[in-house]
Amino acid sequence: MNTAKWIEYFNRNRQNRPEPDWSAPVTVPTAMLAPLLCSLEQFRLGDGGGPASLIALNRESFRSRTDEMKQIVDLWFREEAEHARLLGCAVRRFHGRIITSHWSFTAFCLCRRLLGVRFELQVLTLTELVSTAYYRMIRRHSPDGPLAALCELILRDEAGHVAFQRDRLAGDGVPHRGLRGWCWRLQFFVCGLGAATMLWVNHAPGLKAIGGTRGEFYGEATRQILRFIRSLRRKEKPAPIPALWARPQSVT
Ligand SMILES: [Fe+2]
Ligand SMILES: [Fe+2]
């Protein structure tokens, strides 16, 4: 994996980040606000609002492979912490609460901690893919301009994270031929559907309130997961570095 390329990408991605206009009038109808806000409060916790680092007990076996990898992991998680900051601004804009625990987040962290860094990286990759579906739906249906602008910023970052995960997996020699390749893709797809279902169970009321549907969510999540799998199968060449402000769907 070309680590210098990713360090340069993450450093460049910190530039040109127009802050959403949080002082603009709130345009969310009252009936939509409560379920949408509940979803955003939980998402703030899950997207960088908890520990902004790898937390698997054996995390150093990945993080300390090289000094460059350590730097990339830190830069990646710095962007996740930035997502929590942006979501916190949206939560405060709608007069919500900054929550610090939720049963689903506690279970998520426990699995990440106990099941090893390889599993943690897969879970985080899948989370980034299904979160992309979530943010795309919010951006599409958002009745609030600053909230849509927040999604635009986060989607730009997640496109980079997904491309990084693709490069990382390809560099680690993920099986892509024969029965082993088929089994790997199947387990990744099934785990991806599990991650999508966890997200839908917790966030369906918020997504439905703004006009989203289950079919739309699963269609979007499945598309993201399958595109990732296909891009890995094609992967003899390095993942393209996302251009600043490129639409995320063109990246993975
Ligand atoms: Fe994120
Ligand atoms: Fe991410």
Give the pLDDT confidence of 57-87 residue by residue, as tens digits: 999 998 888 999 999 999 999 999 999 999 9
| Residue 23 CA, ligand 2 centroid: distance in Å | 26
Q: What angle do CA 13, 173, 250 make, to 5 degrees?
A: 35
User: pTM for the whole thing?
Assistant: 0.90
| Residue 34 CA, ligand 1 centroid: distance in Å | 23
The pLDDT of residue 249:
41
| Residue 178 CA, ligand 2 centroid: distance in Å | 30
| Residue 77 CA, ligand 2 centroid: distance in Å | 8
- Residue 10 CA: which ligand is closest? 2
Specify whether the CB–CB gap between 16 and 70 falls below 8 A: no
Say which CATH topology domain 30-250 has: Ferritin (1.20.1260)
Domain boundary assignment for the chain = 30-250
Model pLDDT for residues 171-216, shown as the tens digit of each residue: 887 877 788 889 999 999 999 999 999 999 999 999 999 999 999 9
**Local structure of 63: helix, strand or coil:** helix
Specify whether the CB–CB gap between 170 and 232 falls below 8 A: yes
| Residue 127 CA, ligand 1 centroid: distance in Å | 9
| Residue 101 CA, ligand 1 centroid: distance in Å | 17
Q: Where are the alpha helices (DSSP H) in the chain?
A: 3-12, 30-44, 60-63, 67-93, 103-114, 117-141, 145-171, 178-209, 214-233
Q: Which residue has the tokens 């962007």?
A: 79
Q: For residues 90 and 87, give the distance between their C-alpha atoms in angstroms, rounded to a whole number.
A: 5
